[in-house]
Structure 1
Amino acid sequence: MAYFLSLDMGVQSIGWAVVPKNAADFEKLAMGVHLFEGGTDGDIEKGKDESRNLVRRSARALRRMYRRRSQRMIRLSNELKRLGLLPQCRMHIPEDRNAMLEELDRRFAYFWQGGELRCAHLLPYILRKEGLDQKLPEHAVGRALYHLAIRRGFLSIRKAVGDEKEDGVVKKGISELEKEIETSGSRTLGEYFSMLDPEKIRIRTHWTSRKMHEDEFELFWEAQAQYHPAMTPTAKKRIHRAIFFQRPLKSQRFLLGKCRLEPTRRRAPMACLEIQRFRYWQKIMDLKYTVGKDFTEIPLSHDQQDILADALENREKMTFAEIRKLLGMKKTEKFNLENGGEKQIRGNTTSCRLASVLPDRWPKMTEKEKSILLNEILQYQSSSGLEKRLRKLCRFTLEEAKAVAYLQLEPGYSELSRKAAGKLLEKMKEERIHFKEAEKAIYGSPLKKEDECEFLPPLCADRGAVLTNPVVTRALTELRKVVNAILRKYGKPERIVVELARDMKRSKKEREQISEKMRNQEKERNKAKERIIKELGILEPSRNDIQKWLLAEECGWHCPFTGKQITPASLLGKEPQFDIEHILPFSRSLDDSFMNKTLCDVYENRHVKKNKMPFEAYGHNEEKYREILTRVQNSEMPKAKKERFTMESIPEEFKSRMLNDTRYASKLAVSYLGKLYGGVIELPDEDGKTGRRRVFCYTGQ
């Protein structure tokens, strides 16, 4: 029987319908709903779900942290015992280790000032302080170094993307501690802590940086090495490594998607030269200009294309007005891309930025040398590590290495690999054709078939290496069960329709209004980006930076919750003092839209607002809550956002994350279902051109 298969995918259900193609078979119409448990625990529809692996993963991470800390301390104690700086002891046995440390503390009690009991907590810090100015006994040196290694401070990895809110709190705490140390006149972290009263100020509540501990180690070792012959430069390197070595983060490259044209290759970073050039050549080949009263569109000549390409290679961007001037065109001649609201064409940002910090070296480098340098820049997470690598590998000066190591390149990844982009770019330039034509010429027709599958194969054989969303994984796994059961009974359908859970279809007028709104938002984002570049010198403001700036403008550059004034430096400087905060907690509302975001002082956010609604956090304090609402009412926030500050509960509705999960699953389902037809989801017409589709994806009602 010839039939069409309709599927309605959800995160906990799949609706299906077998619709006969011929009216005579209509009595065979069949339909049903397959229900299944979601890929996470909890109520998915209410957004109160979490990964089944979360508890296990958290416990495993904690065990790993404790184990590695214990191993680090044992390695350090072995090194110290080898140098005679600690007495012999079985450090791997907690009872023996604690007994040894207590014995050392009793022996060095004469360093206590006043002999008060509270000073027992300060003894290791006092040893670290006294060791800067006078000779300490060998075992006192070991006790101080052992204590220094227990908590070695926060190590920031600049190129790693982490929790911005938590990262901001840590860095602000470190900055405040640095100011306190400087104000007190202390030379090191240990000296500052030795002057505190632990009964009034708890030492462990302070955020410390790795650099503070390393600086103290250098000063302490230099002061004591003159008294103890065993403390040689070689010993210093071994002790330093035992205390401060930290293994690099595990590469997440295996999670990076595959190139759609070169399936064995990973997608390339946007900063790659091949991707940068492919991007602007795409625009050049798309570019046309209108002439005459009938607005005839004419593509650029080969000479014009070459002139524009040379200019874009050395420019980060060019406006259409600048392009007209470059090509000697009239102001009345408009480009087709301008009609879509575009204002500019992006050039080779990577080349421009590297040329700005290497003005003498970059232009003289060969393409191979440039590629090698860029590979080094992209693979290093640590700026200091990259700096050392560049000085050794490329023979850079200290100034050149520092400039390159801290250079900000364009973030993100392309959908293509370097190999695919290089092939397409060469074909486009050689034959002056559109990239789609180049793709067809190199990789063949998109209608090229693979082996058809009689039934859908297991998901892990196709996407297991890159699909990490548990909700989507479960939905596609259940989809396979449903479709294969239908195939066994009815055979292969002529057409499959997958419905997405999306917004309701809109009228033409509504679509026009939405398009206009999106263009206005893009203008505001561009203005904010220009202000950030001008006032703070951030070459590539992130999406998050731009969003924070727009939120600051919306709330009048004052924190809605505390009333504190917000400045560009306090917003996006090295030590941000304000976080993006969800008005209605994201963990409960799952609303990550701009409408649910504002700014909040870091301390207020961490200690007062926390994971609460404004009413829950401040409703008990009528005066403060009234002040917050007054600031909100006087701001430029839209009415809908202002109302969120007054809500006493979160409406139970279809949450945004559930929508996103369903959309994602449906899109992946289209390519997954295409395997039934050898990866071909379109049928050719009689003339050989693309015609009827066999797998559709529609918006939901």
Structure 2
Amino acid sequence: MKNYRLGIDLGATSLGWSLIELDNNNEPTKLEKVGVRIFLDGRDAKSKEPLNVTRRDARGIRRNRDRYLQRRTYLINYLIEIGLMPKDKTKRKKLEHIDPYLLRTKGLDDKLSLFEFGRTIFHLNQRRGFKSNRKLDAKDNDTSIMKTAIKELKEELEKTNSRTLGEYLFNLNKDLPQSEDKNRKPVRVKKSSKSYNLYPNRQMYLDEFELLWQKQAKYYPELTDDKKEQLINIIFYQRDLKPQEKGSCQFEEGEKRCSFAFATAQKFRILQEINNLSLLDFNKNSHLLTEAQRAIILEALLIQKSATFKSLRKKLGKEYARDYVFNLESEKRKDLKGDDTSYTMRKNDYFGDKWDELSNDEKDEIISKILNDENDKEIEATLITWLCENYNLPKENAQNIANASLSKKISNLSRKAMTNILPFLNDGFNYYESCQKAGYENTDEAPEEPKYFKGDLPYYGELFEKDALFGNKENYDSEKEPEKYYGKIGNVTVHIALNQLRKLVNQLTKTYGAPKQIVLELARELKLGKTKVDEIEKNQAKNRKINKAIGKKLEEISVENNYENRTKYKLWEELSKNDTERCCPFSGIIIPIHKLFTHEFQIEHILPKSRTFNDRMVNKTIAHRKANQDKGERSPFEAFGHNPPDYNYNHILARAKNLPSNKEKRFFPDAMQYYQDEGEILSRMLTDTQYMSRVARKYMAFVCGKNNVWSINGQLTAKLRSKWGLNNLLSDDSTKNRADHRHHAVDAFVVACTSRSTMQKVARAIGNSRDKFIDTMPPPFDNFKHNEMKQILDDTVISYKPDHGNAKKAISEHKTVGQLHKDTAYGLVSIDEKKGKITLSVRKELVSLESIKKINEIADPRIRATLLQLTDGENDKKKIVRILSEYSERTGIKRVKIHIEKSLETVVRIEDKLGNYKYYELRNNYCADIYIPNKGKKAGKWQIEIIPMFYAHQPNSTPKWQKENPTAKKKMRLFINDTVAYEENGKTEIRRVKKMTFDGRLFFVNHRIAKSDKDPNATSVKQLQEKDGRKVGVDILGRVSDPKNTK
């Protein structure tokens, strides 16, 4: 193929692409092809947590359970061995009926039988208490709450003169008969409890064990110290945490990233902030900080956890406190973060004033020892001794220091790199300049020339080892398992997206040759962290709520509820909190609500749109028509700074103070400074500076060279799509149709057309527009025809990344390709073979039964009848929960057994080695096998068997149909998101498998559909056979392999 430009629209679950032919001047001349690749983002659909986190958490729970069972088995065997437990299982079972709390109390003063003592020791193992871990504590917000609960429990033991936890718990309920359950106090933490009203630590159990052993050893000489130590090891041993791996430094080869807890890192961060500060005077002129001012602010921040801008201005002098503000100061940001570490270490019960006498190196050495990930017990004891000896500290202070809660954040630089950059930050240079002066300016450069232009672009981790984390070159092969060998980017969504990008570009290169240019646009889910995305989504939800409220107000005053009127109303509310004082910020003319929606008042761009290309709300206000005309395409200062007739610039600034600070700044004299150079503005719009955009851009530079790759920030993509009339290609109106996956291809086309020459056309179009941001826009290129693009889109088949895994391979590797069944374990009540039904039982929290239907499932007829009477006719969930909660408080009933009926084919019975069993609901289906019997009544007729995930993972599992019809022929095996073709109304239709049900029904949707309000109609295998259905392959470029066409 001739020279072409590749446009990429890369999202969290989608990759739209477009090939545009270029002329000799690298200008677009023709749209060649578009496509869309859809894939999963590696996150849970509801919580958005990475699936590997969910799997890791579940694996951790399983391992903890396995270790507990292993520990219990070791303990029982050892107790039998030393004569503290009977060998006979029946006799051991009888010991279970003895109240262990009674034995734990009696054993402190009186002689127990050996078996009773064994029963007591066994009970200590069942709940051995929380063991604090100083590394874990620093990361777990819940730990401080636990520690408070532990402290309160210790105080309660002292107050009640309880020698041990067991004695305290026994005395809690010793005078209450068993029948009074509702008045009994809990003796252990409930998993569902939201507080830690009873939370013992490991030491309480260990102390109790020591006292019990001490007493009983007086009666039994055979209870030796060796046996005691062995029991302590079995019951109380806990493995150490593995050291936390850190990524590689961005600048220094072989150096690991540094924790922000280090004194060097704290000062590094603070100096970056200070060097970005400037002061704004009354006239809003900007003044750089002097060296003396920087020193004052640095000194203040190094001794505080945070400092308000107001307090920092006071330190600079009365004049600055009164007449100046910092450039970073706003309603949302009131302070600067100080030195967290020093703030903690400077406390009197830590280092106190001694901390300030230490050098940076000494401080970092101490922090390094505190952050040590090795054996906690030994390291902590050694560290406390070292602190006492080297710094003459009291032991209590040393203990506080050893357990200090320090910053959890990790920098992308090593301490060595920071140390090299710090002198230049100290001199007042900004971060970028400091890096350059330290010799780090070229460490992250993309290649100037193409390096992989034959479809051989390697895994990103090989090229960006500093961005990839946790590689293991010793245990893995770079060819077979590159992700494990080189490591990967921490964000699983970005990792998957970059891999899909590589596969697409390699396939395009093999098919059409390497692209001459590549243009990228990344979705915010990839560019921003989860916290930032959550914040944006939270603001969007807030805006939807505001829009709804404004819509109601507009209806009340008989004004049409549309986007423009809602915008006017929002901007009007910003002018002042008092609606009678809302006025044009330029002229001061009052804007009453009844005139707001007339032509007298207009939406105005504060800074000229023709020079800033900014059409966002932050650059808009409401102005009187005449003021709007007088201002023209100028900034407020340019138009009114010289106080023309009817305008006073100082009054304008005073009125602007009522606006949000990010708008107020646009009225300042230097507001246009950022937009002086039009070429620079266009370059910024063609350069997305977010970290992930830089990584993707650098990755693509290996294909066509640094200067032929750019990533856009997407600021104008939606407007270009609209002005070029591209929205109409997929919908009947002029709005974007997100329900059609092909909208990603349309976006990719816009991205491909976004170059410097396009942006110059946009600039001219904005300059020629008066009423709208852009009135008209020339087409993407000469001879562009909508009908040709529509035909290309109509011919596009969406490609779906297979994500079903290989169950047989997973079995051999002792893994799974999905969750086998749901988590809840059920007991059996009854089975009705004829109806194919099974009734199961499970205990649930009473307050979780938030509907009449769920209350009807309660097994106890008396409780069920009472609650149905109390909730009679009630449908409100909150009211039902309140009724249940009140009933629970009155009766002491917290949990109830419920009976639920399920279809036999949707549950599975799972037994352990001893024959104990539980029932579980099957979760997902692995696949659907469609086969054709060649014997009997069903010979030649397609049949189907749905294979659940659980059965697909059984060793040597064979589908039921193969056992019953060994001569039958398999027609196809379908997985979710597989593509099928069939004939309908005289043409071939391409459909995607959306879901399959246990009863053999298949649900297909058009391959283009991204989301639908309702499920499609089910398709039977009979219908599929009648339509000549077949499984087709669709590669990453959307090319279809139809077996019908290859015959």
TM-score range, shorter chain: 0.5 to 0.7
Does the aligned pair in 2 maintain the 1:36–1:478 contact within 8 Å? no
- The partner residue of 1:225 within 208, 217, 221 is 217
1:391 aligns with 2:384: yes
What pairs up with 1:45-444 in 2 under 5 angstroms?
Answer: 47=46, 60-61=59-60, 64-76=63-75, 84-86=82-84, 99-100=87-88, 102-103=90-91, 121-157=97-133, 160=136, 187-191=163-167, 192-193=169-170, 195=174, 206-207=189-190, 209-211=200-202, 212-231=204-223, 236-251=228-243, 253-254=244-245, 256-262=246-252, 264-290=254-280, 296-328=285-317, 330-331=319-320, 332-338=322-328, 342-356=333-347, 357-359=350-352, 361-379=354-372, 388-395=381-388, 396-429=393-426, 431-441=427-437, 442-444=439-441
Distance change >3 Å, CA 285–CA 54, structure 1 → 2: closer
Does the aligned pair in 1 maintain the 2:80–2:87 contact within 8 Å? no
SS in structure 2 of the partner of residue 363 of structure 1: helix
Q: Aligned pair count?
A: 517
Q: Offset of 1:11 from its aligned partner?
A: 4.0
Does the aligned pair in 2 maintain the 1:318–1:346 contact within 8 Å? yes
1:35 aligns with 2:31: no
Q: Deviations over 1:254-312 (max 9, x none)?
A: 3x444433364443222221111012212332333356x87654433334433443343
Q: Distance in 2 between matches of 1:622 and 1:128?
A: 49
- The partner residue of 1:492 within 504, 512, 515 is 515
Q: Which has the higher contact order (CA 8 A, sep 6+)?
A: 1
Q: Distance in 1 between matches of 2:386 and 2:492?
A: 43
Which residue identity lines up with residue 259 of structure 2 in the other structure? P
SS in structure 2 of the partner of residue 433 of structure 1: coil
Q: Distance in 1 between matches of 2:93 and 2:444?
A: 78
RMSD: 5.1
Q: Distance in 1 between matches of 2:661 and 2:880?
A: 33
Q: Distance in 2 between matches of 1:496 and 1:459?
A: 18
Distance change >3 Å, CA 512–CA 281, structure 1 → 2: farther
- The partner residue of 2:495 within 473, 481, 486 is 473
Does the aligned pair in 1 maintain the 2:258–2:413 contact within 8 Å? yes
SS in structure 1 of the partner of residue 111 of structure 2: coil
Q: Distance in 2 between matches of 1:340 and 1:155?
A: 44
Q: Distance in 2 between matches of 1:48 and 1:408?
A: 28
Q: Distance in 2 between matches of 1:384 and 1:479?
A: 47
Distance change >3 Å, CA 379–CA 70, structure 1 → 2: same
Distance change >3 Å, CA 178–CA 61, structure 1 → 2: same
Does the aligned pair in 2 maintain the 1:131–1:220 contact within 8 Å? yes
Residue of structure 2 equivalent to 1:508: 616
Q: Mind listing any 5+ residue stretches in structure 2 that lack a counterpart?
A: 191-198, 469-482, 526-535, 541-612, 622-657, 664-843, 856-870, 883-1009, 1013-1047
Larger radius of gyration: 2
Does the aligned pair in 2 maintain the 1:177–1:206 contact within 8 Å? no
Residue of structure 1 equivalent to 2:628: none
Q: Distance in 1 between matches of 2:851 and 2:369?
A: 46
Residue of structure 1 equivalent to 2:11: 10
Residue of structure 2 equivalent to 1:691: none
SS in structure 2 of the partner of residue 286 of structure 1: coil
Q: Distance in 1 between matches of 2:375 and 2:177?
A: 37
Does the aligned pair in 2 maintain the 1:257–1:466 contact within 8 Å? no
Q: Distance in 2 between matches of 1:500 and 1:155?
A: 43
Does the aligned pair in 1 maintain the 2:384–2:402 contact within 8 Å? no
Does the aligned pair in 2 maintain the 1:281–1:309 contact within 8 Å? yes
Which residue identity lines up with residue 103 of structure 1 in the other structure? K
SS in structure 2 of the partner of residue 443 of structure 1: coil
Provide the identity percentage.
27
Does the aligned pair in 2 maintain the 1:189–1:216 contact within 8 Å? yes
Does the aligned pair in 1 maintain the 2:240–2:375 contact within 8 Å? no
Greater mean alpha carbon deviation, residues 161-170 or residues 375-384: 161-170
Q: Deviations over 1:384-403 (max 9, x none)?
A: 87753432222243320343
More helix by share: 1
Q: Offset of 1:358 from its aligned partner?
A: 1.6
Does the aligned pair in 2 maintain the 1:160–1:381 contact within 8 Å? no
Does the aligned pair in 1 maintain the 2:131–2:201 contact within 8 Å? yes
Does the aligned pair in 1 maintain the 2:425–2:431 contact within 8 Å? yes
SS in structure 2 of the partner of residue 29 of structure 1: strand
Distance change >3 Å, CA 471–CA 654, structure 1 → 2: farther
Q: Deviations over 1:100-131 (max 9, x none)?
A: 4643676xx8xxxxxxxxxx522544433321
Q: Distance in 2 between matches of 1:51 and 1:7?
A: 25
Does the aligned pair in 2 maintain the 1:267–1:416 contact within 8 Å? yes
Distance change >3 Å, CA 374–CA 610, structure 1 → 2: farther
Which residue identity lines up with residue 315 of structure 1 in the other structure? Q
What pairs up with 1:496-645 in 2 under 5 angstroms?
Answer: 496-500=519-523, 507-510=615-618, 607=845, 621=874, 625=878
Which residue identity lines up with residue 485 of structure 1 in the other structure? Q
Does the aligned pair in 1 maintain the 2:104–2:120 contact within 8 Å? yes
Does the aligned pair in 2 maintain the 1:38–1:475 contact within 8 Å? no
Does the aligned pair in 1 maintain the 2:14–2:38 contact within 8 Å? yes
SS in structure 2 of the partner of residue 409 of structure 1: coil
Does the aligned pair in 1 maintain the 2:250–2:412 contact within 8 Å? yes
Q: Offset of 1:170 from its aligned partner?
A: 8.4
Distance change >3 Å, CA 17–CA 608, structure 1 → 2: farther
Q: Distance in 2 between matches of 1:296 and 1:232?
A: 83
SS in structure 2 of the partner of residue 247 of structure 1: coil
Does the aligned pair in 2 maintain the 1:76–1:146 contact within 8 Å? yes
Q: Offset of 1:60 from its aligned partner?
A: 5.0
Does the aligned pair in 2 maintain the 1:619–1:625 contact within 8 Å? no
Q: Distance in 2 between matches of 1:425 and 1:234?
A: 57
Greater mean alpha carbon deviation, residues 218-227 or residues 186-195: 186-195
What is the TM-score when the length of structure 1 is the normalising length? Answer: 0.60
Q: Offset of 1:197 from its aligned partner?
A: 6.7
Distance change >3 Å, CA 267–CA 609, structure 1 → 2: farther
Distance change >3 Å, CA 445–CA 360, structure 1 → 2: closer
SS in structure 2 of the partner of residue 479 of structure 1: helix
Q: Offset of 1:365 from its aligned partner?
A: 3.6
SS in structure 2 of the partner of residue 141 of structure 1: helix
SS in structure 1 of the partner of residue 341 of structure 2: helix
